Structure 1
Amino acid sequence: MKKFFSVAAFLAVALASLGLASFAYVASQEAARFKFEATVDDAMNRIEGRLDLQLSLLRSTQALFQARDGSMSRAEFSAFYDALDVKDNFKGLRGIGYLGFGTTGEEAELENRIQHIHGVDRAVHPPSTQDWRTPVLLYEPMDDSDLTGIGFDMFTDPARRSAIEMAVHSGQPRATGRILLGEESPEIQRVPGFLVFASVTDNSPKANTDPKPDVVGLVFVAFRTGDLFQAALGAAPALPVSAEVFDGAASDEHLFYRSPVTPSSAYGDDFRVTRTIILAGRPWTLRFRPTVGFSEPSSPTIPVLLGLFGLLLAGAVALVARYQERAYEAVSQLHETTEKSLLEKDLMLQEMKHRIKNSITRVLAMARQTAAHAPDLNEFSKSFAARLQAMAASQDMLTRSRWQKADLRELLEIELGQVFGKELPEDMLTGPMVLLDETMTQALGLTFHELATNALKYGEVSESMGALKVSWTVTGQGKDRRLALTWKESSSKPIEPPTRIGFGTKLIDMNIQRELYGTINREYGSDGLVVLIEVPLTPPNKKQAA
């Protein structure tokens, strides 16, 4: 667990920091949404205020005609319109008008009213099969030379007819859906808008059996949709909202108005606010999105900076934890190293005692055997000193390798160098690298020393160093590897086997056969001596121990 403490610390602090950053981000987004909803409420107040102002004009016009029982001259109505200062006070209003009301078959009476108001003969048009006729009697603003709209029966248009029927039966103002305002003409471009109608009733007594409604006419106002909403939303200070208005449900086929300013792509559907209003009995759906001018109450970079700071803090905490972990590991390793050093020291002392004991035993055995075969003290001293030197050379090699392994070629070079001199021919020794353990190093070191000494005494190596060749190979694999070494001394005359076996020969045989569990064969021939030595690189006792 200590190994993963720094990682756990980093993850804990990082997760906590990212959690705080996420909370800050969510809070900032909620604050932004609240601010935008407040902006939408402001936009709705402007729109509803503008619509209420326009409808107040309709009510005042209705009251005027109601007071006059629907009877008003063109001059009076024009003066009323001019007094309103529509251009400055009622932006988005296209015009105000008054419709006559009668049943089908009463067209002559309605045409007489047109003649009385405008002084021209104008037929009610177009032809209709509907029950009612509602021609335009008055309209402002209107060019004096253009009376095209006078006499037009709005009841013949389905969109207008539905609103007129509801206004007549309910007695309340009723609005149409989206329509195109203006006469159909290639010279005039019609603009989208809507109409609101309000009925003017007859206050005179009437029999209850008369099926005709007590309506003498209808006042109406016409609005350009774009101008109306632009006047409401475009007033200073400008609101950073993009609005869509739908007649009823929000769908492309019911789209009533769309702001010319496109919404910002930085805000998704979470920032889309929908409101509903009822205008003159007709439901409208308004949908708002923020524009590029919308500014959030708090910077969105604050949660990002908070998250980055948290990650840096997590990294710092993890770094401190890692340093503490390493310090603890260093103390633990120091303690383990100290205990291991003490244990190794004790083992080395025990091993040294064992090696010294073995070496003393080997030296005593060599001393006894050398003394038994030496003819005099000088010969004993010389032979014993040479053998001690061979042992010392082997010990020195093992000491330099920390008692691990000794190289066979290096061992031969040292032992042969002590006998023949250090300048050995390059082709005297051939074979691959072979690493020897302690037992093999000491045994082969003495063996090579004895063989070299005999070659110097009895062979022709003293006359020519080329007379001696030592080669070796390794056979087998794994624990079955064996060393096969050939010691070949060339001679110009035949070599006979010795008649007496000396201590050196016995020492060689004991080292190869007893110490190394190997075999040794000597071949005496007419051209010299060949000694064949074969030993396992892993002695049997070590195989079993392994």
Structure 2
Amino acid sequence: MKKFFPVIAFIAVALVSLAMASFAYFATQEATRIKFEATADDALNRIASRVDLQLSLLRSTQALFDARHGKISSGEFKAFFDSLNVDGNFAGLRGIGFLRLVKTGNEELAERAILDDRGVAYRVHPEAVGRWRAPVKLFEPLDKKNQSAIGYDMMSEPVLRQAIEKAMEDDGQHASGRVLLDGKNGEKVPGFFVFVRLMVPTSPENINAGTKSIEGFVYSVFRAENLFQVALNKTPLLPVSIEVYDRAVDPGNLMFHSQKPAFGTKLLVTRELKVGGQPWLIQFRPTDAFEAPSSRAIPVTLGLLGLLLAVAIALVARYQERAYDVAWELRTTMEKSLLEKDLMLQEMKHRIKNSITRVLAIARQTASGSHDLKEFSDSFSARMQAMAASQDMLTRSRWQKADLRDLLRIELGQVFGKELPEGLLSGPEVLLNETTTQALGLTFHELATNALKYGETGNSVDALKVDWAKEGRGRNRTLVLNWRESGNDRLTAPAAIGFGTKLIDMNITRELNGTIERDFRPDGLQVHIRIPLQD
């Protein structure tokens, strides 16, 4: 438990600090959300106020028609419109007008009324699509581009027809869905219409007549972009980017989008605004001018300070633990050193004993197969050098592993006394343990010595090829090595087995638990060795 106390102290203090930082972070986020919602509501109020102002003009126009029982000439209507100063007071208004309601088949009533008023004949167009028709009788401003609007049946437009039919049912104002209007440069821009019905007495000459019928509809046309820009461009400017959709959030229903780039997408406020009974969905996002009520650096600072405090407490606990452990470490160091020294001495004794046993065995076998002292000295020295080379490789690797390619290069180089040509050795990297290194070192030395004495390799080392591969995986790995000598047409199997062959067989079969096969072919000797690889 004492060992893990610094970690436990660090985790506990860090968790408390992170909890405090998280609380501060979420509090900051909530304060930012509340502030932005208030900003969005402010922008919504500006839009609603502007829309109410625009619709108040429609109510005033309706009152004018009511006062005259719908009998307004085009000249009077133009004078009324000019007095409004639309550009200065009602920016976003595309125009206002009056629709005459007639049944399909009675279009001549509307056409006669237009002719009587303007002195010019206009046809009701286009073709009828229902029971009722609502051609334009009056419209301002009426410039050359708008002349074709006179006589146009708005019942032919499905979106407008839906709003007009609602206006036929009550005295309220009814807005249409999104429509495309002509912009300043001829492009199409989103807009909408608002309709209100005009009721007139069926017998205007009878003062007590209480029955009324629908004479037509007073309407206003608005460009959405101008309307919203005027509403939002009041000072102080609000740091919001808005998107306005008709009924549902869909690219095909987009009425207006702010030119200000939105700053991030995490803060999003959606509000609904009903205009003439038509619902608009308005999405508000902050711009880069929006300032959070509190800095986001506060939670980060709290978290960092908490982590620093946790680190400091953990370090203090760790130093106290280290101070306690120093005495124990000092006491155990001497015991460990003495134990390691004893193990090293035992290991050295074991290795020296094994080496002496191997040297004595090689000496006895070499002496029994030698005819004189010189032959014994040469053979024994060569085999000792092969053992020394293997020992040297293991010493350089701190008695861990020796590379098979390096072992072959050293042993063959000692025998042939020259640089080995490219391509003589081929195979993947194979790391050998101590036992395998010493056994294969003597085996390669004996094979090379025999090749030098009896094979064509004595004339050229190019006649020798050695390749190897690894088979299997994990503990079942096997080293497969092929030793090939070529170019000797007189090669035959020996009549008697010499010490070198016995030494090779003993190393492969007994020391390494492997197998060795010799094939004395007419073109040279081939030796096939398989030994299990051990870690």
Shorter-normalised TM-score: what interval? 0.5 to 0.7
Asked if residue 215 in structure 1 is aligned to residue 211 in structure 2, the reply is no
Deviation at 1:182, TM superposition (A): 4.6
Letter in 2 for 1:224: R
CA shift, 1:92, in A, is 1.0
1:168 is displaced (CA, Å) by 1.1
Task: Say if 1:332 and 1:188 are closer, same or farther in 2 by CA, change over 3 A.
Answer: closer
Kindly report which structure 2 residues correspond to 1:490-509, keeping only aligned pairs within 5 A, or say none.
none
1:176 matched to 2:176? The reply is yes
List per-residue Cα deviations over 1:220-247 (Å, max 9, x = no partner). Answer: 0000011111222232222222212221
Secondary structure of the 2:3 match is: helix
1:198 to 192, 196, 215: 196
Give the secondary structure class of the aligned counterpart of 2:238: coil
Deviation at 1:276, TM superposition (A): 1.2
Q: Which deviations, in whole Å up to 9, do the C-alpha atoms of 1:92-132 show, x marking residues without a partner?
A: 11111111122223322222221232221222222325222
Write the distance in 1 (CA, Å) between the matches of 2:30 and 2:321: 43
1:294 aligns with 2:290: yes
Change over 3 Å in CA distance of 1:129–1:319 after alignment to 2: closer
Aligned to 2:312: 316
Give 3-state SS (helix, strand or coil) of 1:236's partner.
coil
Contact 2:225 2:256 in 1 (8 A): yes
Letter of the aligned partner of 1:230 in structure 2?
Q
Matches within 5 A, 1:272-291: 272-291=268-287
Cα 1:54–1:433 change in 2 (3 A) is: closer
User: In the aligned structure 2, how far is the partner of 1:315 from the partner of 1:145?
Assistant: 78
State the Cα deviation string for residues 354-400 of structure 1 (Å, max 9, x = none).
xxxxxxxxxxxxxxxxxxxxxxxxxxxxxxxxxxxxxxxxxxxxxxx
CA deviation map 1:419-471 (0-9, x unaligned): xxxxxxxxxxxxx9869xxxxxxxxxxxxxxxxxxxxxxxxxxxxxxxxxxxx
The corresponding residue for 1:382 is: none
> SS at 2:272's partner residue?
strand
- Are 2:248 and 1:252 aligned? no
Q: Secondary structure at the match of 1:177?
A: coil
Deviation at 1:30, TM superposition (A): 0.8
For structure 1, the residue ranges without an aligned partner over 5 or more in a row are 342-400, 409-431, 436-472, 478-546
The code of the aligned residue for 1:141 comes to P
Q: Note the alpha carbon deviations across 1:478-533, whole angstroms, 9 max, x for none.
A: xxxxxxxxxxxxxxxxxxxxxxxxxxxxxxxxxxxxxxxxxxxxxxxxxxxxxxxx
Conserved? CA contact 2:104–2:131, under 8 Å: yes
> Which residue is 1:233 aligned to?
232
Whole-angstrom distance in 2 between the partners of 1:125 and 1:433: 116
5 Å-filtered alignment, 1:468-483, equals: 474=353
**CA distance 1:475–1:136, change in 2 (3 Å):** closer
> What are the within-5 Å matches in structure 2 for residues 97-136 of structure 1?
97-136=97-136
Paired with 1:132 and 1:434, the residues of 2 have a C-alpha distance of 119
Q: Using the alignment, how far apart are the partners of 1:333 and 1:103 within structure 2?
A: 108
1:285 aligned partner, one-letter code: L
Q: CA–CA distance in 2 between the matches of 1:9 and 1:119?
A: 97
Question: Which amino acid counterpart does residue 242 of structure 1 have in structure 2?
Answer: S
> How far, CA to CA, are the matches of 1:27 and 1:192 in structure 2?
40
User: Match of 2:5?
Assistant: 5
| Secondary structure of 2:147's aligned partner | coil
Distance 1:188 1:255, change over 3 A: closer
Letter in 2 for 1:46: R
Structure 1 segment 351-430 matched on structure 2, within 5 A? none
3-state secondary structure, aligned to 1:257: strand
Tell me, in whole angstroms, the C-alpha distance in 2 between the residues paired with 1:30 and 1:261: 24
In structure 1, the residue matched to 2:431 is none
SS in 2 for 1:37: helix
**Cα shift readout 1:203-224 (whole Å, capped 9, x = no counterpart):** 34599xxxx9811121100000
Once the two structures are TM-superposed, the CA of residue 474 in structure 1 deviates from its matched residue by 3.9
2:12 is the alignment partner of 1:16: no
Paired with 1:236 and 1:291, the residues of 2 have a C-alpha distance of 16
User: Residue 63 of structure 1 aligns with which residue?
Assistant: 63
- Report the RMSD for the aligned CA atoms in angstroms: 3.4
Query: How many residue pairs are counted as aligned between the two chains?
Result: 345
Q: Which amino acid aligns with 1:226?
A: E
Q: Percent identity?
A: 50
Higher CA-based Rg: 1
- Identify if the C-alpha distance between structure 1 residues 475 and 31 changes in structure 2 by more than 3 Å, giving closer, same or farther: closer
Quote the residue 1:522 is aligned against: none
- Displacement of 1:66: 1.1
Query: For the structure 1 residues 267 and 152, does the alpha-carbon distance in structure 2 shift closer, same or farther, using more than 3 Å as the test?
Result: closer
Q: TM-score, normalised by structure 2?
A: 0.59
In structure 2, what is the equivalent of residue 243 of structure 1? 242
Letter in 1 for 2:214: V
**Cα distance in structure 1, aligned partners of 2:133 and 2:120:** 19
Shift of 1:258: 2.0
Aligned AA for 2:261?
A: T
SS in 1 for 2:149: coil
Letter in 2 for 1:327: A
- C-alpha spacing 1:101/1:11, structure 2 compared with 1 (3 Å): same
SS of alignment partner, residue 169 of structure 1: coil
Q: CA deviation at 1:35?
A: 0.9
Structure 2 vs 1, CA of residues 331 and 219 (structure 1 numbering), >3 Å: closer, same or farther? Answer: same
Q: Which segments of 5 or more consecutive residues in structure 2 lack a partner in the other structure? A: 357-535
TM-score by length of 1: 0.58
Once the 2 structures are TM-superposed, how far is the Cα of residue 260 of structure 1 from its aligned partner? 2.4
